[in-house]
Amino acid sequence: MSDRLYSFVGSGSGRWNIVQLTPVVGEPLPDAACVGVFNGPVAPLPEHSAWCLRGVTSNERYVTAAEHAQLTARQPALDRTEALCAALIPVRKTQAWWDLAQDDRRAIIEERSAHIKTGLNYLPAIARRLHHGRDLGEPFDFLTWFEYSPAHAGTFEELVTRLRSTEEWTYVDREIDIRLVRAAGT
């Protein structure tokens, strides 16, 4: 197992309380009360767990050196005191997406959908960490974890709305939107 593996466990207890779990497209995910985030595998799962989603942080797949420099200069760390809100957004893309060559995927992601550029506009308000699940045989290709302060809840809504309106998102065939708030005192 990679030490870059993260497990997101939906169950009855955990640091993050689920306030909304919405299937955006495709098969839904069972309801749960909380999400626990673990760096590593979770086995055995806690009793009454509803699901466990896994992914690894990895090297960048599309970002250029120039974009990387801009991201690095602006992106905040996770776990800021004021970031009481979070979102976990599991996404799966179609086989047609994965069959595209690298330059075609890059053209759709950035030249035509401005995914990286759009994300930059929301830094440093929104912190994020991307996890890859496809090569692990997970049900979702990507798990993106976002953290932000309650004051930026509207900003976050705008970000996900903009991304979902892009050409890139026409290749998404399963997506769940899980919104969370940090349990008091944690």
Residue of 65, 173, 43, 40 whose CA lies nearest to 116: 65
Q: Least distance (Å) from its own copies to the CB of residue 153?
A: 32
- Does 104 interact with its own copies (rule: CB under 8 A)? yes
Residue 10 sits at φ, ψ, to 5 deg, of -90, 120
Q: Under a CB-based contact definition with an 8 Å cutoff, are residues 1 and 41 in contact?
A: yes
Q: Which of 82, 135, 157, 158 binds its own copies (CB under 8 A)?
A: 135
The terminus-to-terminus CA distance of the chain in angstroms comes to 28
- Does 106 interact with its own copies (rule: CB under 8 A)? yes
Q: Which of 5, 35, 143, 163 binds its own copies (CB under 8 A)?
A: 5
- Does 64 interact with its own copies (rule: CB under 8 A)? yes
Q: Which of 100, 114, 123, 125 binds its own copies (CB under 8 A)?
A: 100
- Does 109 interact with its own copies (rule: CB under 8 A)? no
78: number of Cβ within 10 Å? 14
Q: Under a CB-based contact definition with an 8 Å cutoff, are residues 131 and 56 in contact?
A: yes
Size of the site for its own copies (CB under 8 A): 29
Helices of type H across the chain: 65-74, 95-99, 102-106, 115-121, 153-164
Segment interacting with its own copies (CB under 8 A) among 19-27, 44-52, 135-143, 145-153: 135-143
Nearer to its own copies, 98 or 151 (CB): 98
Nearer to its own copies, 114 or 125 (CB): 114
Rounded Cα distance, 66 and 53, in Å: 32
- Does 73 interact with its own copies (rule: CB under 8 A)? no
Helix (H) or strand (E) holding 176: strand 172-182
Q: Which of 60, 111, 157, 158 binds its own copies (CB under 8 A)?
A: 60
Count of alpha carbons within 13 angstroms of residue 66, beta-carbon side:
1
Residues 142 to 171 in contact with its own copies, rule: CB under 8 A = none
**Residues of the shown chain interacting with its own copies in the complex, contacts defined by CB under 8 A:** 1-5, 56, 58-65, 67-68, 98-104, 106, 132, 134-137
